[in-house]
């Protein structure tokens, strides 16, 4: 396994890539030209997706670690199945929220080792908010980070001055966070069951990987996902959630979500406080 000093260097690279991509996304977000197209699966693709993807992939390729991005999804399994390490990227998670201009979209970058994420970076461009994690070190949150880190040595300062997750929960209600744009009938059934079983339940809707971040930071107790997601939707969030002491597991067999499968779709899963 890569030594921790080198992993911190890779974390530094990923954080800077995410922040720079976020700046490009915001330029498009504040313009009147999103250039929205539909991908083969009928999901939207904007100019911001394309610019962010180019920035991130060009940066990460310099590490000589292969990159699997949502916008490069057609890479054959035969080409990637032997990867021990690889970057897994969603350059703009929450494109529907981006188009709605509600701010609930993120940049997601994960480093995966032998099928499981060991670095997670999630940047929220509208809020200048950064979540990041490194296996064995923990998960962290930074408010108000607008610019890339100018010096690799600052990664140690960033870790020491960031809020370590989870944070104390600010209310006693059992808090369920659910998708703003993908609320399935199974999710509604799950919520209805909790409403019957528990006295004090709060329901919050969020877009993108912010749902996983809410559980990781302690502002939600559980995020159930009964619906389609793909590996780049969840890897960075899983790294952050697990290092914050949360459990993220398949609803099929109870196992941790694994990555670089032949089929890049995830099973239904749940993220919950440990």
| Residue that is last in its domain, among 110, 143, 164 | 164
Asked whether residue 9 falls in the same domain as residue 91, the answer is yes
pLDDT at 185: 87
Distance CA 148, CA 179 (A): 30
Asked whether residue 228 falls in the same domain as residue 153, the answer is no
Q: At 111, list the tokens.
A: 């480093």
Asked whether residue 19 falls in the same domain as residue 146, the answer is yes
Describe the crossing of helices 210-217 and 231-243 by its angle, rounded to 10 degrees: 10
Asked whether residue 81 falls in the same domain as residue 18, the answer is yes
Say if residue 146 is exposed, middle or buried (CB neighbours under 10 Å; 0-12, 13-18, 19+): exposed
pLDDT at 72: 72
pLDDT at 171: 80
Asked whether residue 144 falls in the same domain as residue 48, the answer is yes
Report if residue 169 sits inside a domain. Answer: no
Report if residue 218 sits inside a domain. Answer: yes
| Residue that is last in its domain, among 112, 137, 164 | 164
Asked whether residue 28 falls in the same domain as residue 148, the answer is yes
pLDDT at 40: 62
Asked whether residue 81 falls in the same domain as residue 199, the answer is no
pLDDT at 28: 93
pLDDT at 148: 92
Q: pLDDT digits over 42-82, tens only?
A: 577 889 999 999 999 999 999 999 999 987 777 899 999 99
Asked whether residue 125 falls in the same domain as residue 55, the answer is yes
Report if residue 62 sits inside a domain. Answer: yes
Element holding 160 (H helix, E strand): helix 154-161
Question: How many structural domains does the chain have?
Answer: 2
Q: Report phi then psi at 215, rounded to 5.
A: -70, -45
pLDDT at 42: 57
Asked whether residue 131 falls in the same domain as residue 257, the answer is no
Model confidence, pTM = 0.95
CATH of the domain at 233: 3.40.190.80
Report if residue 228 sits inside a domain. Answer: yes
pLDDT at 184: 81
Report if residue 29 sits inside a domain. Answer: yes
Asked whether residue 201 falls in the same domain as residue 160, the answer is no
The domain in which residue 263 lies consists of 174-272
CATH of the domain at 14: 3.30.540.10
Asked whether residue 121 falls in the same domain as residue 243, the answer is no
| Residue that is last in its domain, among 141, 164, 187 | 164
Q: Which portions of the chain are predicted below pLDDT 50?
A: none
Closest CA to 207 of 174, 233, 173: 233
pLDDT at 35: 86
| Residue carrying the six token digits 């870790």 | 159
As beta bridge partners, residue 123 has 107, 130
């Amino acid at each position: 396994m890569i030594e921790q000093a080198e992993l911190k260097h890779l974390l530094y690279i990923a954080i800077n890539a995410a922040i720079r991509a976020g700046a490009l996304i915001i330029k498009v977000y504040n313009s009147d030209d999103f250039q929205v197209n539909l991908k083969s699966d009928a999901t939207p693709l904007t100019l911001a997706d394309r610019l962010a993807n180019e920035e991130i992939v060009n940066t990460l390729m310099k590490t000589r670690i292969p990159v699997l991005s949502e916008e490069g999804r057609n890479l054959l399994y035969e080409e990637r199945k032997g990867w021990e390490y690889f970057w897994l990227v969603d350059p703009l998670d929450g494109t529907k929220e981006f188009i709605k201009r509600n701010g609930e979209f993120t940049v997601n970058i994960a480093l995966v080792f032998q099928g499981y994420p060991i670095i997670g970076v999630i940047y929220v461009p509208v809020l200048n908010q950064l979540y990041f994690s490194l296996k064995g070190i923990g998960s962290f949150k930074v408010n108000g980070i607008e610019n890339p880190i100018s010096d690799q040595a600052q990664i140690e300062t960033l870790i020491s001055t960031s809020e370590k997750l989870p944070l104390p929960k600010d209310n006693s209600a059992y808090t369920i966070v659910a998708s703003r744009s993908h609320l399935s009938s199974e999710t509604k059934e799950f919520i209805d069951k909790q409403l019957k079983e528990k006295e004090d339940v709060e329901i919050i809707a969020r877009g993108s990987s912010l749902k996983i971040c809410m559980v990781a930071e302690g502002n939600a107790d559980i995020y159930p996902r009964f619906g389609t997601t793909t590996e780049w939707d969840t890897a960075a969030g899983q790294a952050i959630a697990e290092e914050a002491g949360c459990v993220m597991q398949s609803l099929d067999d109870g196992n941790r979500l694994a990555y670089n499968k032949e089929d890049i779709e995830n099973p239904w899963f749940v993220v919950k406080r440990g």
